[in-house]
Amino acid sequence: MYLNIKGIRMKKIKGIMGCLLLLTLAACNKEISNNNGFTPYANNPLNDTVWITNIPGDAPIYKLADTICHNNIIVDTFDLAKGKVLNFGDSLEIEIHPNSFFVGTGNPGSGGGTATDGKATIEILRIQTRGDFIKAYRPNNSFGSLLETASGFFIRIEKNGQELMLLPDSTLKIKYSDIQDPVANMQVFYGRETFPFPNGALDDAHTWVRDQDTSWIKTFVKQSGNSYKKGYELVAKRLRWISAERYLDSTVAKTNIYAILPPNYTNKNTQVFVAFDKNRTVLALNSDISTRSFTTKNIPLKAKITLVAISKIGDDFYLGTKVVNDVGTVINYSITPEKKTLGQILDYINSL
């Protein structure tokens, strides 16, 4: 039964409408766009999330260390046969005794040799603040034991391009004013290094070794006008890395801490330090491949610390920080570095 409308049967109309409906439905295009594909660059360092056991010498962290390392080195000359007292302002005085040096293998512990004379060049790098120790990649620990520093020095004497060593029983007296009032129980520590010396600033083997003479470093107070100069008189028996350190209280309960960073930050491109708030102590966290994290031990409980992560990925620098007011039950800290300029990173490090 179909309705006739001017000769057009309702069946025909239905058929037409059906076709139109199909066409309309077909015209409705639900697809707007296809899924976007993403292909990571194969050799881009940002995409390198692999942790490795043996970090190669060309890894970004070495370049990072060289980039942020100190370059304010004091350079002077003296006569090896006569010796000299070098004054660098009011805060640093180095007394060099005559005929105290020899040309050795360069290894500070290699013992005696032939004395030499003539003109020599002395290079001095002062590391006083926490930031200085970070920039110099010389954390304040001695085989895992925490140290508190009262400044350190890198002293290198060269003659004709050859590095000289102190003769046995010869000393080098360093009289300096510290940024803090001197304390009585500081001891002389020497830096243990990889040998031959690494070309770069970063030395994984570095640790501070206490001098066999464990006597405390002398302090002085000298009036200068209306003020007083305070400092230490450090007698060094070896060159290169020298510092005034003391062990932190070993009776305080300690714990391990872990710094966890996003996958882009690996042990190839990132170095993490912890700076103590109360003490002038800086530690470098070691990479833990099993947990893909950076860790260190012997952190005193309830210590206030600042975690500093410095990364170099490609040509970009990243800085991540985390202030921990009370090291306690939570020992893992997530750090999310942000891209920074080198100047921004150095400013922050110097402020520690």
Partner 1 sequence: MTDNQFDNFFREKLSNHTAPVPEGLWEKIRPEKEKRPKGFFLRKINGTGLLLAALLVGSVIIGLLIYPHTSSVPATDAALNTSKTNATTINQSTNKITGNNSTLNSTPNQPSVSKDVKIEIADEKTNTNISAEKAISANQQPAANDVRVLNTASSVNTKEDPFKSFFIQEQTQLKDYPETELEGNNYVSANIQQASLFYQPESVNSTTGLVQKNLASNGHDKFIKSSIIICPTNRGRSNFNTDWSFEVFASPDYGFKSVSNVSASQQYLDKKDSTESMQIGYSAGFRIVKPLNNNWLLKTGLQYSQINQKFSYRNENEIKTTTVITTRSIVRSPGDTVIVTDTSTLRQIGYSVKTIRNHYRSIDIPLTLGYQFGNEDLTIGINAGVVFNITSWYQGELLDTSLTSVPMSKISNSYYRSNIGMGLYSSISVLKRINENTHLFFEPYFRYNLSNMTNTASPYNQRFQVGGLAIGLRFDLNR
Residue ranges that bind partner 1, judged by CB under 8 A: 6-8, 12, 15-16, 19-20, 23-24, 26-27, 29, 31-41, 44, 46-47, 49, 255-256, 258, 260-264, 291-293, 295, 331-332, 334, 336
CB of 348 to partner 1, least distance (A): 22
Q: Where are the beta strands (DSSP E) in 62-206?
A: 74-79, 84-88, 92-96, 101-103, 119-127, 141-142, 145-159, 162-166, 172-177, 187-192
| Residue among 155, 212, 169 nearest 187 (CA) | 212
By C-beta, is 13 or 205 nearer to partner 1?
13
**DSSP string of 186-225?**
-EEEEEE--SSPPSSS--TT-EEEE-S--PPPEEEEEEET
62: left (phi over 0), alpha (psi -120 to 50) or beta: alpha
What tokens appear for 274 in the block? 């912890």
Structure tokens at 129: 């603040």
Q: Which residues of 99-138 are buried (b: 16+ CB within 10 A; e: fewer)?
A: ebbbbbebebeeeeeebbeeebebebbbbbbbbbbbbbbb
Phi, then psi, of 345 in degrees rounded to 5: -70, -45
CA distance 304 to 326: 5
Residue 46 or 252: which CB sits closer to partner 1?
A: 46
CB of 34 vs partner 1, minimal distance in Å: 4
CB 194 within 8 A of CB 137: no
Residues 320 and 196: their CA atoms lie apart, in Å, by 33
Q: Toward partner 1, which CB reaches closer, 7 or 196?
A: 7
User: Closer CB to partner 1, residue 12 or residue 70?
Assistant: 12
Q: How far is the CB of 254 from partner 1 (least distance, A)?
A: 8
Least CB distance from residue 147 to partner 1, whole Å?
21
Cα 240-245-246 angle, rounded to 5 deg: 155
Give the nearer residue to partner 1 in terms of CB position, either 137 or 333: 333
Q: Least CB distance from residue 293 to partner 1, whole Å?
A: 6
Q: Report in angstroms how near the CB of residue 86 gets to partner 1 at its nearest.
A: 48
Amino acid, single-letter form, for residue 116: T
Minimum Å distance from CB 46 to partner 1? 5
CB of 237 to partner 1, least distance (A): 37
Residue 40 vs 196, nearer CB to partner 1 = 40
Indicate the helix (H) or strand (E) that contains 232: strand 227-236
User: CB-wise, 266 or 281, nearer to partner 1?
Assistant: 266
**From CA 181, how far away is CA 186, in angstroms rounded?**
12
Q: How far is the CB of 311 from partner 1 (least distance, A)?
A: 12
**Smaller CB separation from partner 1, 232 or 258:** 258
Of 35 and 224, CB closest to partner 1: 35
